[in-house]
């Protein structure tokens, strides 16, 4: 309990190389095995042809996530991620507004709902932090994140929410949250849970401080996390199967973010409250979580991200598993 704590933050923003320097931020996404486990069409995952094999999740592929070429900003070509049903898939959530069945996804495929998982948001926050509020514009953030499939729209939208969240928090942050969110407890409204999962750099609440420096923030990025930024496809039930398989292998605590999408699909409580059935309890928090996760990555090295929130928050949520705030 020394100033060390605040110091790390101070130096954090102190040794900030120009944004140009930290441009090469690349995080591919989804570890191959994981992707396969979830039947997620990985950017480079071959057609696997594994239409539906939840019972035998044989993942022997050692495909390393190669530096996926960040698609040019002006390249609206969804080259991956939203692969149409991989064969025997029911498109239960396919057309809701169009009203056309059996449409050919040709090229203009509607991008499925992007699921902003805490980790993905973490990256977002990091990118913004490194860029600085001033440079934190959708385009730059998007480029910095280098998340395949992520488009400016996505970032812009999220950025918007994020700003609102920051603003909201400023008004309520009198006692230094220190931990940023989790530790503070109570800084999370219903809409804030996602943001609460990610430590908010002090500068965000202190535009003046950042402005005083006049230089963008940047940092030697913390260890990244390979997080499957999976989109909402028609994998609903598949997801469950895949999850089960994954869990069978090693407790994969993939926060799939089963958001309210269930509203009209799975169990959709009329109240508005929901309860994720299967996965919600599938994760007893052992200390080996990370190890297991690491193993998952296989070839990928260096995973440690929840660690931050975990110890920073003090000792509340073990993992950044989304809202556990159910009864």
Footprint of DNA on this chain (CB under 7 A)? 73-74, 93, 96-98, 110-116, 137-140, 152-154, 156-161, 163, 190-191, 193-194, 231, 259-260, 263, 272
- Rounded CA gap, 264 and 230, in Å? 21
As to burial, measured by CB atoms within 10 angstroms (0-12 exposed, 13-18 middle, 19+ buried), residue 40 is: buried
* Angle (nearest 5°) at CA 127 between 125 and 133: 80
Position of tokens 């496809």?
A: 233
Nearer to DNA, 121 or 251 (CB): 121
Nearer to DNA, 160 or 288 (CB): 160
Position of tokens 């950017």?
A: 43
The minimum distance between CB 322 and DNA, in angstroms, equals 9
Nearer to DNA, 227 or 296 (CB): 227
- Rounded CA gap, 260 and 38, in Å? 20
Nearer to DNA, 54 or 94 (CB): 94
Cβ pair 43, 81 in contact under 8 A: yes
Nearer to DNA, 55 or 74 (CB): 74
The minimum distance between CB 116 and DNA, in angstroms, equals 3
Dihedral class, residue 252 (left if φ above 0, else alpha if ψ from -120 to 50, else beta)? beta
The minimum distance between CB 3 and DNA, in angstroms, equals 33
Nearer to DNA, 27 or 289 (CB): 27
Nearer to DNA, 37 or 142 (CB): 142
SS3 198: coil
Cβ pair 113, 262 in contact under 8 A: no
DSSP summary character for residue 190: G
Beta-strand runs (E) in 1-77:
none
The minimum distance between CB 193 and DNA, in angstroms, equals 5
Report which of 279, 239, 257 is spatially closest to residue 116, judged by C-alpha positions: 257
Nearer to DNA, 40 or 296 (CB): 40
The minimum distance between CB 93 and DNA, in angstroms, equals 6
Cβ pair 218, 17 in contact under 8 A: yes
Q: What would the DSSP string read from start to end of 246-269? A: HHHHS---------GGGTTSS---
Nearer to DNA, 161 or 215 (CB): 161
The minimum distance between CB 222 and DNA, in angstroms, equals 22
The minimum distance between CB 85 and DNA, in angstroms, equals 16
Dihedral of CA 8/185/191/80: which sign?
positive
Q: Output the CA–CA distances (angstroms, integers) from residue 238 to 95, 137, 220, 234, 245, in the order listed.
A: 18, 36, 38, 8, 10
């Amino acid at each position: 309990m020394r100033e060390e704590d605040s110091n790390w933050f101070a130096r954090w923003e102190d040794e900030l190389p120009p944004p140009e320097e930290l441009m090469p931020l690349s995080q591919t996404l989804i570890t191959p095995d994981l992707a396969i486990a979830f039947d997620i069409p990985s950017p480079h995952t071959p057609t696997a042809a594994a239409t539906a094999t939840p019972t035998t999740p044989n993942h022997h592929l050692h495909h390393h996530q190669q530096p996926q070429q960040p698609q040019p900003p002006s390249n609206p070509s969804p080259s991956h991620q939203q692969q149409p049903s991989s064969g025997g898939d029911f498109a239960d959530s396919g057309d809701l507004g169009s009203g056309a069945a059996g449409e050919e996804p040709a090229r203009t495929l509607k991008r499925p709902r992007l699921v902003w998982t805490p980790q993905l948001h973490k990256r977002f926050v990091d990118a913004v932090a490194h860029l600085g509020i001033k440079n934190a514009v959708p385009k730059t953030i998007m480029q910095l994140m280098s998340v395949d499939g992520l488009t400016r729209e996505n970032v812009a939208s999220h950025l918007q929410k994020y700003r609102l969240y920051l603003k909201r928090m400023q008004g309520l942050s009198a006692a230094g949250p220190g931990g940023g969110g989790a530790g503070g407890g109570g800084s999370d409204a219903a809409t804030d849970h996602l943001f609460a999962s990610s430590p908010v750099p002090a500068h965000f609440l202190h535009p003046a401080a950042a402005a005083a420096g006049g230089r963008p923030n940047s940092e030697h990025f913390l260890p990244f996390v390979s997080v499957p930024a999976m989109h909402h496809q028609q994998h609903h039930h598949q997801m469950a199967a895949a999850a089960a398989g994954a869990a069978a292998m090693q407790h994969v605590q993939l926060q799939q973010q089963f958001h309210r999408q269930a509203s009209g699909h799975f169990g959709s409580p009329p109240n508005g409250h929901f309860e994720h059935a299967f996965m919600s309890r599938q994760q007893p928090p052992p200390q080996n979580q990370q190890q297991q996760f690491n193993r998952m990555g296989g070839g990928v090295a260096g995973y440690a991200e929840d660690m931050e929130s975990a110890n920073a928050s003090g000792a509340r949520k073990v993992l950044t598993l989304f809202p556990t705030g159910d009864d």
